[in-house]
Structure 1
Amino acid sequence: MIWAILALALGGIVKGAIGAGVPVIAIPVLTMTHDVHFAVAVLLAPNLVANMWQAWNYRSDLLPRGFLIPFALGGAAGVAVGTYGLTRVPQEGLSLIVASAVLVYVAIRLANPSLALPFRLGRILALPVGAAAGILQGATGVSAPISLTFLNALQLDRRVFIGTIAVFFTALTIMQIPALAVTGILTPERALISVIALATVLSFMPLGAFLAKRLSRRFFDRVTLGLLVVLASKIFIDVLVL
């Protein structure tokens, strides 16, 4: 639990600094200490409240509705499909999917740091890309390899990026809560732990916002990517070797 709390705190710092980071950091740690079902359920409250907060704070910096609505609705629909997979794939398989998704995200960020996508094309791809990210979110709790890579490629201003991804993550979580409740993955005990996790994340988000004004985005990227490689490698070792 100490490692889980540290992961949530670091996720809160990164979330406050760049607008995303809680699931991509906390899910691998919680997967190692518990399982993917537990990890996805515990991140519900932090995902919902933190993203609603940021969506409201950056409401004047969102992308046009013609992009935002298809992106968010596609993601919400994808979550329902991904949650079905979450209930069918064995835990070891889910752990490997989480680790693989994290490494894919790292590889994309390192291989294409300046990847650029015209906004006109991005608007066309918003619905299918949102759906694909939602499926990954529903199955593993981590949509970053698709959602963050897609928005990063649009080369958005920091405030526009934070507001847009916050709306997207909010839509995913709103769909994810009833889906996980129906499947029995979201239990009263896990809901209580999720609220505790929320308090941890919110406590550290202001620190991230403070540090973002003094440290470069590149610094946060490198630290986060390095940590993700370590976490993903640990999951592979635990599942395939130990």
Structure 2
Amino acid sequence: MFNLAPMFDMAPSALALIFIAFCLGGLVKGVSGMGLPTVAMGLLATVFPPAQAASLLFVPTVLTNAWQLATGPSPFAALKRFWPMVTANAVMAVACAGLLASAYAHYATVLLGVVLLVYAVFGLSGRRLPAPAHGGERWMSPAVGLATGALTGGTGVSVMPAAPYLQSLGLDKEALVQAMGLSFTVSTLGLGLGLWLAGGFAAQSLTGSALALIPAAIGMAAGQALRRRVSQTTFKKVFFVGLLALGAHLALGG
């Protein structure tokens, strides 16, 4: 299963892009607790087909988010509260992942660019979604899960609208990071299963995905160090401006 030959067959420029993409994705995650798949998928999609880019993300995304979930205050409490959201998320991610491996993958790249643009504009606005009305979480969570799963399956990125929705719930910092870890883990597992069922997840991809843990870990370590030196406000502005440019490039040139 772990065959190194496909990696050696890649052009040096492609290998360099993989290294840079996961270093930058890890850096963002180290600073903010999220953003590895968003950044890495956006960069990888400029060169690789969407299904291959999503496959390369699988191991680093699952392991880092599972760790984020497991080290939070109460994984079982998070699962008990958000199981309707993550169940709907997983089902839709599996159902929609075929787009990345289909003849319409070109549109997946454009859709990814649009999602990144919307996320960047929303982030730069400084606004938050309004909290659900009393009792509204019971129907909002599954709806958000369905939308997140559909976008995960169609773009390979699981941040929208799950992250803004979770931020609207007034969770404390640790519980929020844990809830996002749960949502992103389930999204990625659903995406991986959906790609495999659609024939878009080659076993050889696991080699590159496992090796991508190295630059992702380097980036996360750097991000954790940077977090102590740069304000969250400054970092978020730079992050979202970069995401805006990347999203525009993919949406217009995809």
The yes-or-no answer on 1:102 pairing with 2:116 is yes
Matched pairs, number: 239
CA separation in 1, counterparts of 2:143 and 2:238? Answer: 31
What 5-or-longer segments of structure 1 have no aligned partner?
A: none
Q: Determine which of 30, 34, 46 is the counterpart of 1:32.
A: 46
Secondary structure of 2:45's match? helix
Structure 2 distance, partners of 1:155, 1:110, is 20
Q: 1:158 Cα shift?
A: 2.1
Aligned-partner residue type, residue 131 of structure 2: L
TM-score, normalized by length of structure 2?
0.85
Correspondence 1:168 to 2:183: yes
1:4: Cα distance to partner?
A: 3.0
Native 8 Å contact 2:132 2:140 kept in 1 = no
Of the three residues 216, 231, 234, the one matched with 1:219 is 234
C-alpha change, 1:72 and 1:59, in structure 2 (3 Å) is farther
Q: 4+ runs of 1 displaced by more than 6 Å?
A: none
1:196 alignment counterpart: 211
Q: 1:177 aligns with which of 186, 189, 192?
A: 192
Say whether the 8 Å CA contact 2:79–2:182 is kept in structure 1.
no
Distance, in Å, in 1 between the alignment partners of 2:228 and 2:145 is 30
Partners of 2:37 and 2:75 in 1: CA distance: 23
CA drift at 1:30: 0.6
The CA RMSD measured in Å over matched residues stands at 2.1
Shift of 1:61: 7.4
Preserved contact between residue 158 and residue 188 of structure 2 (Cα < 8 Å): no
Task: Say if 2:111 is the partner of 1:90.
Answer: no
Does 9-18 or 174-183 show the bigger shift?
Answer: 174-183
The whole-number CA distance in structure 2 between the counterparts of 1:62 and 1:221 is: 30
Structure 2 residue corresponding to 1:20, chosen from 34, 55, 62: 34
Percent identity between the two aligned chains: 25
Matched, 1:132 2:147: yes
Change (3 A) 1:211 1:62: farther
1:62/1:38 Cα in 2 relative to 1: closer, same or farther (>3 Å)? Answer: same
TM value normalised by structure 1: 0.89
More helix by share: 1
**Cα deviation digits, residues 52-93 of structure 1 (max 9, x gap):** 111111143786545321121111111112213334452321
Deviates more, 1:113-122 or 1:195-204: 113-122
Query: Which position in structure 1 is the counterpart of 2:88?
Result: 74
